[in-house]
């Protein structure tokens, strides 16, 4: 008797849960659909509104704002020279390159001094943001727009803050040693600033996956899809996430995730909010959320937008382990930022960001993976318990999988009508195939990763809390395997 009661309870629970899962997927995919429609409109307008003479005009105009390019470097002796050289050749009018040597223990500094004829100078600058001590500032005799800052180790955020202090131009961006920028990258991301200089506070540029592309002298010379399946999945995922997701959010004025991408920020506002933060794993995400909060609190009209035209190429992880670490870090960073800014949740003071975007991230990005994973488990259980309803299964299949396929294909369509970076038939067919396959395992796997990240996040928060209570002054990033793996740059080393 008792047993049947419990089984009955379990069954009803599962049935109820199944319905809940259906509702979840329906809601999630509908939001994606909404975002896609918004993105479609945005990309369409963007492509039409961009006249081919625009970029040359921006480059030659004296009105174009100069940019300070910050390159935080920690033990990058193998690649730092290449990075700096390829930056020196970018297509842009006025800019300066500031390399921040964050307490490297290898020969990075010496290589720089030798290669560019650096001399120590006494640069007068304002320490607007507190950072670890700066040992010296170097300038190059041969290249007047190159500076190198030697400082004590403080972590990437600290290095960036130092760079911000020293930078003299109104805009700055951070470039990792691992990213490969397109020739016109800066022209593209500065365009929104030129169009609306008072309002624009930050601009994000899209990131594409470089695996499979031919790279020569720090430039992508031929674009192709990766040869291996894992990076190819990521290509489709990025297309979906960037083209349909972020462009959409950008149009809704709630763009939050510039990280994993390329961002150009206005120096003044970033200094106002105190620069980059030390306590998170994804410092750009945190920065952008704080920017949003700051600007909304000050009630100043502003915009943070996204440029859909590709700007930056990066190496994607090729093994599951590395991929997991990367996603782990990203998700943890998201959770940390969400938690810190929980007061924005559902708060009408923060406009669409507070009312829609934040709840979205909370429900679908944070809790969502649990629901998804639990949903699959529930299906399995239902089948085991013999209560699996074919109707339900079909519905589930539709909403969880087919709808996803639709969105993946939609993203590819968007890419085809706009940027067409993958011109060959072979690549297109491959993309379509992976777009479909993506929903039969890859996306589910990512959700599992996210669940794990959540547990990690909870565990670390407890640890963080202890450290804070003990009055720990933490300047550098905690030495977790993930951080070491990714180096300072956040990119993945082979």
Partner 1 sequence: MSEWLLLVAILTIAAVLVLLTVLILVMKAIRQARLAHLARKRREIEPGLLKYLAAREGVLEKFVSVPPRGDTRTAAIALLIEHADLLKGEARERITTALERIGMVGEEMAHLDSSSAWKRAMAAERLGLARSVSAVDALARRMEDSDPEVQLRAARALGQIRGRLAVRPLIEALANPSRWSTLRVADILSTMGGEAAEELIRSFPQLTPQGKVACLDILGRLRRPDTAAFIQQRLKDENPDVRARAAHALGQIGDPTTWQALSEALKDPEWPVRAMAAKALGRLHAPQSVGSLAEGLRDRQWWVRSNAAEALSGMGEGGTQALIDLLDSPDDYARHQAVLMLQQSGIVDQYADRLDGLDLEAARARRVVGKIVEVGQVQRLDDLARNHTSPSVRAALADLLGKAAAGRA
Partner 2 sequence: MAGLSDRGNRKGDCLDSKGTILVMDDDPIILTFLTNLLQDKGYTVHAVEDGSEGILAARRLKPDLIISDLIMPYADGYEILRELKRDPALRRIPVMVVSMKDKESDIVRGFELGAEDYVVKPFGAHELVARVRRLLVASKKAAAAVLPAPASGSGSR
The binding site for partner 2 (CB under 8 A) comprises 85, 88-89, 216-217, 219, 221
- Stretch 307-336 residues interacting with partner 1 (CB under 8 A): none
Residue 126 lies near partner 1 (rule: CB under 8 A): no
Coil, helix or strand at residue 215: strand
The site partner of 391 among partner 2, partner 1, none (C-beta below 5 to 8 Å per kind) is partner 1
Instruction: Quote the least distance from Cβ 85 to partner 2, whole Å.
Output: 7
Among the residue ranges 116-124, 156-164, 451-459, 486-494, the one whose residues contact partner 1 (CB under 8 A) = 116-124
- Interface with partner 1, residue 49, by CB under 8 A: yes
Taking CB under 8 A as the criterion, the residue among 7, 12, 30, 61 binding partner 1 is 61
12 binds partner 1 (CB under 8 A): no
* Cβ pair 93, 60 in contact under 8 A: yes
How far apart CA 176 and CA 156 sit, in angstroms, is 10
Q: Closer to partner 2 by CB, 91 or 347: give it.
A: 91
Alpha-carbon span 84 to 96, nearest angstrom = 11
Nearer to partner 1, 121 or 458 (CB): 121
416 binds, among partner 1, partner 2, none (CB under 5 to 8 A by kind): partner 1
State which residue, 59 or 401, has the beta carbon closest to partner 2: 59
State the binding partner of 410 from partner 1, partner 2, none, CB within 5 to 8 A by kind. partner 1
Q: Which is nearer to partner 2, 85 or 268 (CB)?
A: 85
Tell me: does residue 390 bind partner 1 (CB under 8 A). Answer: yes
Q: Which does 88 bind (CB under 5 to 8 A by kind): partner 2, partner 1, none?
A: partner 2
Q: Per CB under 8 A, does 472 bind partner 1?
A: no
Residue 136 lies near partner 1 (rule: CB under 8 A): yes
**Total residues at the site for partner 1 (CB under 8 A)?**
36
From partner 2, partner 1, none, which one binds at residue 105 (CB under 5 to 8 Å depending on kind)?
none
CA distance 433 to 440: 11
What is the Rg, in whole angstroms, of the alpha carbon atoms belonging to the chain?
24
Closest CA to 486 of 333, 262, 257, 329: 329
Among 124, 384, 470, 479, binds partner 1 (CB under 8 A): 124
494 is an interface residue for partner 1 by CB under 8 A? no
**Number of other residues whose CB lies within 10 A of the CB of residue 57:** 14
3-state helix, strand, coil in the chain (%, to 5): 55, 15, 30
Q: What is the DSSP pairing of strand 219-222 with strand 214-216?
A: antiparallel
120 contributes a contact to partner 1 by CB under 8 A: yes
Residue (144 or 348) nearer to partner 2, CB: 144
- Does residue 428 touch partner 1 according to CB under 8 A? yes
Minimum gap (Å) between residue 217 Cβ and partner 2: 5
Contact between residue 70 and residue 175 where contact means Cβ atoms under 8 Å apart:
yes
3-state secondary structure of 108: helix
Decide: is 455 part of the binding site for partner 1 (CB under 8 A): no
Backbone angles phi, psi at 208, to 5 degrees: -115, 165
What mask, x for binding partner 1 by CB under 8 A, covers residues 393 to 422? Answer: -xx-xx---xx-xx--xx-xx--xx-----
Count other Cβ atoms within 10 Å, centred on residue 61: 10
- For residue 183, the minimal CB distance to partner 2 (Å) is 8
* Cβ neighbours of residue 469 closer than 8 Å, sequence gap 6 or more: none
CB 194 within 8 A of CB 57: no
- Distance, in Å, from the CA atom of 41 to the CA atom of 247, rounded to the nearest integer, reads 10
CB 467, min distance to partner 1, A: 37
Stretch that binds partner 1, among 90-98, 121-129, 163-171, 309-317 (CB under 8 A): 121-129
Query: Of 122 and 217, which CB lies nearer to partner 2 in the complex structure?
Result: 217
Nearer to partner 2, 219 or 452 (CB): 219
SS3 153: coil
| β-pair partners for 64 | none
Question: Within a 10 A sphere around the Cβ of 4, how many other Cβ atoms?
Answer: 8
Counting other chains too, the contacts that 216-224 makes at CB distance below 8 Å and 24 or more residues apart are: 217/86, 218/82, 218/83, 218/85, 218/86, 218/180, 219/86, 219/180, 219/183, 220/180, 220/182, 220/313, 223/421, 223/422, 223/423, 224/422, 224/424, 224/427
- Between 105 and 221, CB nearer to partner 2: 221
Q: Is 440 exposed, middle or buried (0-12, 13-18, 19+ CB in 10 A)?
A: exposed
Which residues of the shown chain bind partner 1 in the complex (CB under 8 A)?
Answer: 48-49, 51, 53, 57, 60-63, 119-122, 124, 136, 197, 390-391, 394-395, 397-398, 402-403, 405-406, 409-410, 412-413, 416-417, 425, 428, 432, 436
């Amino acid at each position: 008797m008792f047993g049947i009661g419990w089984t009955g309870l379990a069954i009803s629970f599962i049935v109820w849960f199944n319905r809940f899962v259906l509702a979840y997927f329906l809601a999630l995919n509908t939001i994606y659909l909404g975002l896609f429609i918004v993105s479609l409109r945005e990309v369409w307008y963007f492509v039409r509104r961009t006249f081919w003479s625009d970029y040359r005009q921006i480059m030659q105009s004296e009105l174009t704002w100069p940019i300070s390019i910050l390159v935080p470097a920690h033990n990058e002796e193998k690649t730092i020279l290449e990075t700096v050289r390829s930056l020196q050749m970018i297509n842009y009018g006025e800019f300066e390159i500031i390399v921040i040597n964050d307490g490297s223990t290898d020969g990075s500094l010496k290589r720089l001094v030798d290669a560019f004829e650096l001399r120590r100078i006494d640069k007068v600058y304002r320490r607007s943001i507190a950072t670890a001590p700066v040992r010296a500032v170097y300038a190059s005799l041969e290249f007047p727009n190159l500076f190198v800052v030697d400082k004590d180790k403080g972590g990437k955020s600290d290095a960036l803050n130092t760079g911000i202090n020293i930078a003299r131009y109104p805009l700055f961006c951070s470039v990792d040693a691992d990213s490969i920028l397109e020739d016109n990258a800066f022209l593209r991301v500065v365009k929104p600033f030129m169009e609306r200089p008072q309002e624009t506070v930050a601009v994000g540029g899209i990131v594409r996956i470089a695996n499979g592309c031919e790279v020569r002298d720090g430039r992508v010379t031929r674009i192709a899809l990766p040869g291996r399946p894992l990076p190819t999945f990521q290509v489709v995922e990025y297309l979906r996430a960037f083209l349909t997701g972020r462009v959409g959010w950008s149009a809704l004025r709630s763009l939050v995730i510039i990280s994993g991408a390329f961002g150009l920020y206005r120096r003044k506002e970033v200094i106002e909010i105190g620069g980059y933060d030390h306590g998170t794993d994804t410092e750009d995400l945190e920065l952008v959320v704080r920017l949003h909060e700051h600007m909304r609190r000050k009630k100043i009209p502003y915009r943070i937008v996204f440029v859909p035209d590709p700007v930056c190429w990066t190496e994607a992880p090729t093994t599951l382990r590395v991929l997991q670490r990367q996603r782990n870090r990203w998700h943890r960073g998201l959770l940390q930022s969400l938690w810190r800014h929980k007061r924005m949740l559902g708060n009408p003071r923060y406009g669409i960001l507070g009312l829609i975007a934040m709840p979205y991230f909370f429900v679908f990005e944070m809790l969502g993976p649990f629901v998804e994973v639990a949903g699959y488990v529930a299906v399995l259980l239902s089948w085991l318990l013999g209560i699996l309803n074919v109707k339900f299964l079909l519905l589930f299949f539709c909403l969880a999988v087919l709808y996803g396929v639709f969105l993946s294909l939609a993203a590819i369509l968007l890419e085809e009508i706009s940027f067409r970076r993958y011109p060959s038939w072979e690549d297109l067919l491959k993309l379509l195939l992976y777009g479909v396959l993506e929903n039969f395992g890859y996306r589910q796997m990512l959700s599992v990763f996210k669940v794990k990240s959540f547990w990690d996040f909870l565990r670390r928060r407890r640890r963080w809390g202890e450290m804070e209570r003990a009055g720990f002054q933490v300047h550098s990033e905690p030495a977790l395997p993930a951080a070491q793996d990714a180096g300072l740059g956040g990119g993945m080393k082979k």
